[in-house]
Amino acid sequence: MGKVSLARASLRYEWRRYLAAILAVTFAGLLIVVQVALLLGLLGSVSAVIDESGAQVWIGYRGTQSVDLGRGIAVSADLDARLHPAVRRVEGLYQGYGDWRRDDGVAVTAVINGIDARPDGLAYAHLLAPAQRALLEEPGAVLIDEADRDKLNAYIGAPVEINGKRARIAGFVHGVRAVGGVTVLMGQPTLRYVLQDLPDRNQDLTYLLLALAPGSDAAQVAAQLTRTDSGRRHSLWPADEFSLQSQLYWLFESGAGIGAGVASLLGLIVGAVITSQTLASAILASLKEFAAMRALGVSRQALRNIVLEQAFWIGACGLLLTALLSSGIGLLADWAQVPMLFPPWLLLGSTAIILAIALLSGLYALRPLYQADPATLLR
């Protein structure tokens, strides 16, 4: 038989009293986990083109803040890059808005990704299977995200109109769903055709993707290229840096990050207040028993620890519920193809925050314990 834990026994026996606190903690936990996971999913879709590609260095329009905000660059931008000894491959990528017309005539804004679809191409190297790349070599073939299937009434082989040109859906991919419009992947033959009537026909290059020799340091190469002639006229980023920069840009620019931060903070405050109120009222309800323990010689510190243990278990129960509900929401989001990301740092971080808040609430609730004076039991 183990130790008698007053904290756990009370939680079990008087669970109704503690339920509100546990739910408040759960609520606070959910606010954090779900919002951050949604944000990460959203931001992840912004930087998917970087994260899913095989390039270590990106070259783009000078001062581009997020990958989806790229502007056309000159074809000659690649000159110095090709001369650098560590650069193994330089590949163009087009990203721009286009006009997609559904078969029923409704117009949808499309984000056109014109990639090098050759088998060793860098763009979307992690996303596309060789067979899918092969499909894109066909003139008129495009790939779209599975998640946009319904929005576009899409099916394989469906005829579509992009910028007034006929194309057809050759297949579906996962994980390029854009926040704004519909992401469309196409190879060079289709891209030239789709862009041919645009006013500035030379603007068919947005980024240069660089693959480096194994063992090269992307940050170092990017720094060296920045000092070259064409480097000065463009911006260069190591891929992971550009990915993070794009995510942070949207996190702060959109206000979504601040909104989530404020909501999480409010949730935490509400959780902390309810938890400490609950604990304080539980102490008051057992004040005479605590006073009797004081008479029997149990130290004040020991009684404090009981309350803190209780706070810990409230936090732990809240976390358990948070985990269950978050998994449920995650599954639901998966089913609805809403991107959510639950990286380990988010799970560990929210666990730490929730437990810390619960314990702080416990500390804050301790005050009534000082009224537990054995002399009050004498009459």
Partner 1 sequence: MSEVLVRCEAIAKSFGQGALTQRVIREATLALNAGELTLMMGPSGSGKSTFLAMLAGLMRPDQGRVEALGQDLWQLDDAAIDRFRLQHCGFVFQGFNLFAALTALENVVFPLQYGSLLGDEARRRAHAALEEVGLGERAHLRPVELSGGEKQRVAIARALVKQPELIFADEPTSALDSHNGSVVVDLLHRIARERGAMVLVVTHDPRLHQRADRLIELEDGQIKRDERIAQTEPALAGEQEHA
Point out which residues bind partner 1 (CB under 8 A): 1-4, 6, 9-10, 12-14, 286, 288-289, 291-299, 302, 374-375, 377-379
> Is 261 or 374 the residue whose CB approaches ligand ADP more closely?
374
> Is 270 or 377 the residue whose CB approaches ligand ADP more closely?
377
Q: How far apart are CA 310 and CA 9, in angstroms?
A: 10
Cβ of residue 37: shortest distance to partner 1, in angstroms?
A: 37
Which of 44, 42, 46, 38 lies closest to 329, judged by CA?
38
> Is 2 or 199 the residue whose CB approaches partner 1 more closely?
2
Cβ of residue 342: shortest distance to ligand ADP, in angstroms?
A: 57
Which residues have a Cβ under 8 Å from the Cβ of 153 and sit 6 or more positions away?
102, 103, 104
Tokens of 140: 């008129």
> Is 16 or 379 the residue whose CB approaches ligand ADP more closely?
379
Q: 295 contacts which partner out of partner 1, ligand ADP, Mg ion, none, CB within 5 to 8 A by kind?
A: partner 1
Burial of 240 from C-beta contacts in 10 A (0-12 / 13-18 / 19+)? middle
Q: Is the dihedral of CA 202, 207, 211, 215 positive or negative?
A: positive
Cα 112 from chain centroid?
Answer: 23
Q: Which of residues 359-378 bind ligand ADP (CB under 6 A)?
A: 378
**Strand duo 141-145 + 165-173: pairing:** parallel
Taking CB atoms, the residue at the shortest distance from Mg ion is 379
Q: Residues 320-359 vs Mg ion: string with x where CB under 5 A?
A: ----------------------------------------
> Is 6 or 341 the residue whose CB approaches partner 1 more closely?
6
Cβ of residue 294: shortest distance to Mg ion, in angstroms?
A: 18
- Segment interacting with Mg ion, rule: CB under 5 A, options 18-26, 171-179, 345-353, 371-379: 371-379
Phi, psi of 153 (to 5 degrees): 50, 45
Cβ of residue 4: shortest distance to ligand ADP, in angstroms?
A: 32
DSSP H/E element including 246? helix 239-253
Q: Which of residues 139-178 bind Mg ion (CB under 5 A)?
A: none
What are the Cα distances from residue 115, in Å, to 53, 55, 268, 327, 338?
10, 13, 45, 36, 25
Q: Which DSSP letter does residue 152 get?
A: T
Q: 234 contacts which partner out of ligand ADP, Mg ion, partner 1, none, CB within 5 to 8 A by kind?
A: none
Cβ of residue 46: shortest distance to partner 1, in angstroms?
A: 52
- Angle value at C-alpha 191, between 146 and 136, nearest 5 degrees: 50
Size of the site for ligand ADP (CB under 6 A): 2
Cβ of residue 280: shortest distance to ligand ADP, in angstroms?
A: 24
Angle, helices 344-365/300-335, rounded to nearest 10 degrees: 150
Q: How far apart are CA 5 and CA 313, in angstroms?
A: 11
Q: 336 contacts which partner out of ligand ADP, Mg ion, partner 1, none, CB within 5 to 8 A by kind?
A: none
Cβ of residue 292: shortest distance to ligand ADP, in angstroms?
A: 17
Which residues have a Cβ under 8 Å from the Cβ of 151 and sit 6 or more positions away?
108, 182
Q: 334 contacts which partner out of partner 1, ligand ADP, Mg ion, none, CB within 5 to 8 A by kind?
A: none
When binding is defined by CB under 5 A, the residue of 16, 297, 335, 379 that contacts Mg ion is 379
Residue that is written with structure tokens 């976390």 in the block: 319
Cβ of residue 378: shortest distance to ligand ADP, in angstroms?
A: 6
CB 239 within 8 A of CB 212: no
Asked if 375 touches Mg ion (CB under 5 A), the answer is no
Please, what is the end-to-end C-alpha distance for the chain in angstroms? Answer: 37
DSSP H/E element including 278? helix 256-285
Cβ of residue 302: shortest distance to ligand ADP, in angstroms?
A: 25
> Is 312 or 342 the residue whose CB approaches partner 1 more closely?
312
Kindly list the residues in this chain that would bind ligand ADP in the complex (CB under 6 A): 378-379
Kindly list the residues in this chain that would bind Mg ion in the complex (CB under 5 A): 379
